[in-house]
Amino acid sequence: MSVASVNWASAALKIAVLVGLAGLLGWHYGKPLVAVALSLLALIAFWLYQMHRVKAWLDKPEQPPPDVYGIWGDLLAQIYLHQRNSKATQERLQATVQNLRDSLASMRDGVIMVDSLGAIEWFNQAAESLLDLRFPEDQGQTLTNLVRSPQFNTYFVQGDYDKPLQYLTGLDFPTHLRVEITHFGQRQRLLFIRDVSLSVREEQIRRDFVANVSHEMRTPLTVISGYLGTILGDSGNLPAPYTKALEQMAQQAQRLENLLKDLLWLSRIEGEDRPHEQEILDIKTLVEELREEMGGIYPEREIQVELDGQPKVLGDYRELYSAVHNLTINAIKYSPADTPVQIHGFQQGNEFHLAIRDRGMGIDSMHFPRLTERFYRVDDSRCSALGGTGLGLAIVKHVAAAHGARLQIESELGEGSTFTLIFAERESR
């Protein structure tokens, strides 16, 4: 910014000349002091007049400034320059803010800005229609007074916005809304609201489809494997080539049955909002039952159990059992017959770890991210030969998520793998 210079020296000189001349003139008439006083009075009057003009302009600054003489003119020019610059800056800022608001306004997601006390500062059109707000008059309203759903209220007030909230609203047309909140500025909050009804419905249809198909296919399959069993029980009367084929058929039918069973189980536990049957589970009982079952299926395998103390976890027994069962079966299948499988439960800090360890061939770490996907196979030919369904780890993942636990995978090629379920501390334990 260039600064207009104020010529102090010239101004001072002019005053000096004026007072000097008045003094001379007064001296000529014999009253020098009166003359000097009069000249100064005139100067003050002139300055007052100039100030008045400056003030008049300041009242209406949108007009160009008046021509003002001398030092006042210089000052005025500087003020004017300042004002013009700040006006330009302000306009630029306003344009930026307007631009931002326009872009937020055009978003298809609802956006709401809320101040530190929970009052609405601004919202866009999408939020208006999603939450039934009204544009100008609802600014300044407390948001929870208008969006009164208890779930929303609890989520909004508790202040922990790591996970988005999904809730059902609407009377005539039920709508699933997903709300995400972030903090910004001085304890202000920014809310993003999206209508997810469509994806919720699609997810529901997909889940129902899988469940229905699996269920419908089980009945014919039971008939097929039933007859196969009957025929094979009488295999002495069959020609040898048929026996082999029928045995294979029975084996594959069994595999198909396992697959359908896993699919049904998976679609049952997949739903996020299903009611949980939570109880306090004794891990020891669970592991003992598991060891007994494994002893029946794989009598030759050794399962070492080591539990520190009396660990207890809050959850659903059947679900948790299926998860640990799947991990143990995997450990048994993917390790040589002469090596033991270890189940180790221990407390680490606030978390309870349940680790299932094998001494098998291990998994390359590049497979880790995709390991829990359905039907993902590290080595396709071998896995099918072992008779897995490809759904085991997907089930484990869902059970873990439903219990607020996470699945940790550690593995080294040739050394073996460790799958650990890590349960966070819960108040009710």
- What residues have CB less than 8 Å from 271, skipping those under 6 apart? 207
Instruction: Out of 1, 3, 9, 171, name the contact with another protein by CB under 8 A.
Output: 171
* Binding region for another protein (CB under 8 A) out of 32-40, 85-93, 141-149, 333-341: 141-149
Instruction: Out of 78, 83, 125, 144, name the contact with another protein by CB under 8 A.
Output: 144
According to DSSP, residue 276 is labeled: P
Strand bridging mode 303-307 / 110-114: unpaired
Beta strand segments in 171-234, E: 175-184, 188-195
Tell me if 142 contacts another protein by CB under 8 A.
yes
Tell me if 137 contacts another protein by CB under 8 A.
yes
Tell me if 197 contacts another protein by CB under 8 A.
no
Exposed, middle or buried, 331 (CB in 10 Å: 0-12/13-18/19+)?
A: buried
Q: Which is nearer to another protein, 37 or 165 (CB)?
A: 165
φ/ψ bin of 416: left (φ > 0), alpha (ψ from -120 to 50), beta (otherwise): left
Tell me if 140 contacts another protein by CB under 8 A.
yes
Segment 330 to 389, residues that bind another protein, using CB under 8 A: none
- Provide the 10 A C-beta neighbour count for residue 152: 20
Tell me if 116 contacts another protein by CB under 8 A.
no
Q: Which is nearer to another protein, 131 or 313 (CB)?
A: 131
User: Containing H/E element for 166?
Assistant: strand 165-169
Tell me if 429 contacts another protein by CB under 8 A.
no
Segment 273 to 312, residues that bind another protein, using CB under 8 A: none
Specify the 3-state DSSP secondary structure of 373: coil
Tell me if 129 contacts another protein by CB under 8 A.
no
Is residue 177 within 8 A of residue 149, CB to CB? The reply is no
Q: How far is the CB of 168 from another protein (least distance, A)?
A: 9
Q: Which is nearer to another protein, 139 or 252 (CB)?
A: 139
According to DSSP, residue 200 is labeled: H
Q: How far is the CB of 119 from another protein (least distance, A)?
A: 9
Size of the site for another protein (CB under 8 A): 16
Q: How far is the CB of 145 from another protein (least distance, A)?
A: 4
| Residue 395: closest CA among 385, 386, 407, 383 | 407
Looking at this protein, which amino acid is placed at residue 168?
L
Is residue 179 within 8 A of residue 155, CB to CB? The reply is yes
Tell me if 175 contacts another protein by CB under 8 A.
no
| Placement of tokens 């039952």 in the chain | 289
Q: How far is the CB of 191 from another protein (least distance, A)?
A: 17
* Binding region for another protein (CB under 8 A) out of 139-147, 198-206, 276-284, 333-341: 139-147
Rounded to the nearest angstrom, the gap between the alpha carbon of residue 32 and the centroid of all alpha carbons in its chain is 86
Q: What separation in angstroms does the CA of 64 have from each of 46, 67, 75, 392?
A: 22, 9, 14, 80
Q: How far is the CB of 142 from another protein (least distance, A)?
A: 6
Q: Which is nearer to another protein, 150 or 239 (CB)?
A: 150
Tell me if 145 contacts another protein by CB under 8 A.
yes
**Residues at the site binding another protein, with contacts judged by CB under 8 A:** 132, 134, 137-138, 140-142, 144-146, 148-150, 153, 171-172
